[in-house]
Amino acid sequence: MRKYKLTTETAVTSDGTIVTRIQALTDFGGVKVRELGGFIETEDNLDHGDSAWVSGNAKVYGGASVSGDARVSGDAKVYGRASVSGDARVSGDAKVYGDAKVRGGAKVFDDAQVLGKSQVYDYAQVLGNATVHGSAKVFGRAKVFGGATVSDNAQVLGNATVHGSAKVFEGAKVFGDATVADNTQVSGNATVYGSAKVYADASVSGNTQVFGDAVVLGNARVSGIAQVFDKAVVYDRADVSGNARVYGNSWVHGRAMVYNDAKVAGTADVSGNAQVYGNAEVHGSAKVFDGAKVFGNARVLDAAKVFGDAWVFDKAEVVGSACVCDNAQVFGGVRVYDHAVVSGEASVFGVASVSGKARVQGNARVYDNARVSDNAEVFDNVQVFGNAWVGGDIKVKGDTKLSS
């Protein structure tokens, strides 16, 4: 049974196709008999079954089809070999074309465009000036709006939102309750999920994962196979790459870099131009900042601080409330702990330890199995080595050499 007819009113599309307004022949799906509809090129564009309808000044032409209970309204255009089916809605000045499919309970409104071989389905919405193209898919209850673009083989699903001028492309996926916004780019095979947020001018690429309640913003970059998760925040111009992990409630910001297999966790803070790399770990409430470097298998834990241009590397540990700063270097199997401070141009290496409230500063060297503890101070060009121990309130300065 035919539910509509072609009238004598015609219009011409931008590509010169002549389309004809339709009129209902019977009541169906809220459409009344004799009600005027939109424009189609041929009756192949609008199925006579179910309650599909084209209304307003909407135009469906070429090899496009509207079927099921779908509605195309306003000034929308559906053309090429595109299809709109199920309970889908296309309205406003929206365009669906190419081989695109809009189906299920999906909505394409405003000035949005769906094209190529892309698909929008389930209860997904594409609104504003958003564009979905290539072989991209937007489904579930996902929303793509503003001037956002989803392209290539990218997928946006679940309750995810992509908006602003954000771009999700290549094989990237955004799902769960995640948000990608502003001028962000999510590319490669990257995944953003959970309740994660990526916004401002951030970039997430490669095979990275950003998930949980993590936030990546500013001009931050996450690449390689890195992971940012839990409630971690990466921002400013920070760079997390390689197989690095940033998690817990930690922050990486400024121009800091975390890469290779490094880990930043707990409530740790890595900032400035600091670098954490290799298999290094920074966690607890530790802070690494300025131009400091922590690398190798080094660990900076608890409330320890490494800053200035200090280096902590090999298997060294800086723990407790200890501090390594200025141009100091701590390496080997060293432990600096309690409230100890290593500063200036000092170096502590081998399997030496500095503990208590001890100070090693200036150009001092503490190495081998030597220990500096309690309130002791070692400075100037002093060398403490072998199995020597400097403790109590002793102060050693000048060019002294202590060994056992």
Domain final residue, candidates 24, 40, 75: 75
Instruction: Output the pLDDT for position 250.
Output: 98
Amino acid at 183: N
pLDDT score at 70: 98
Last residue of a domain, one of 59, 75, 91: 75
pLDDT (tens digit, 9 = 90+) per residue, 319-367? 999 999 999 999 999 999 999 999 999 999 999 999 999 999 999 999 9
Residue 1's pLDDT is 78
- Please tell me the predicted confidence (pLDDT) of residue 404: 80
Of 43, 75, 107, the position where a domain reaches its end is 75
Domain with 62, as residue range(s), is 1-75
Average predicted confidence (pLDDT) for the chain = 97
Distance CA 60, CA 19 (A): 8
Q: Collapsing DSSP states into helix, strand and coil, what is residue 268? A: coil
**19 domain residue, yes or no:** yes
| 327 within some domain | yes
Residue bearing tokens 């959970």: 194
Q: In the predicted model, what is the mean pLDDT of residues 17-28?
A: 96
Residues 6+ apart with CB under 8 A from 377: 358, 359, 360, 361, 394, 395, 396, 397
Instruction: In whole angstroms, give the CA distance from residue 269 to residue 246.
Output: 10
Three-class SS state of 329: strand
Task: Give the C-alpha separation, 324 to 2, whole Å.
Answer: 84
- pLDDT of 147 over the 90 cut: yes
Whether 66 is in a domain gets the answer yes
Alpha carbon 96 to chain centroid, angstroms: 29
**pLDDT average, residue stretch 99-118:** 98
Would 154 be classed as within a structural domain? no
Percentage of the residues of the chain whose pLDDT score is greater than 90:
99
Phi-psi region of 379 (alpha: psi -120 to 50; beta: other; left: phi over 0): beta
- According to the model, what pLDDT value does residue 93 have? 98
Q: Which pLDDT belongs to residue 210?
A: 98
Q: State the first-to-last Cα distance of the chain, in angstroms, to the nearest integer.
A: 105
Which tokens hold the place of 271?
A: 């900032």
Within-domain flag for 375: yes
Q: What CATH number is attached to the domain comprising 358?
A: 2.160.10.10
DSSP code at position 45? G
What is the pTM (predicted TM-score) of this model? 0.95
Model pLDDT for residues 30-60, shown as the tens digit of each residue: 999 999 999 999 999 999 989 999 999 999 9
Residue 202 has pLDDT above 90, yes or no: yes
Percent residues over pLDDT 70 in the chain: 100
Sign of CA dihedral 89, 93, 94, 99: positive
Q: What average pLDDT does this structure show over 155-179?
A: 98
Specify the length of the chain in residues.
404
The rounded Cα 180 to chain-centroid distance in angstroms is 7
Number of domains in the chain: 2
Tell me: the pLDDT tens digits for 119-140? Answer: 999 999 999 999 999 999 999 9
What's the CA gap between 23 and 6, in Å, rounded?
A: 6
The pLDDT of residue 256: 98
Residue 352 lies in a domain: yes
Residue 35 maps to a domain: yes
Instruction: Let me know if residue 368 belongs to a domain.
Output: yes
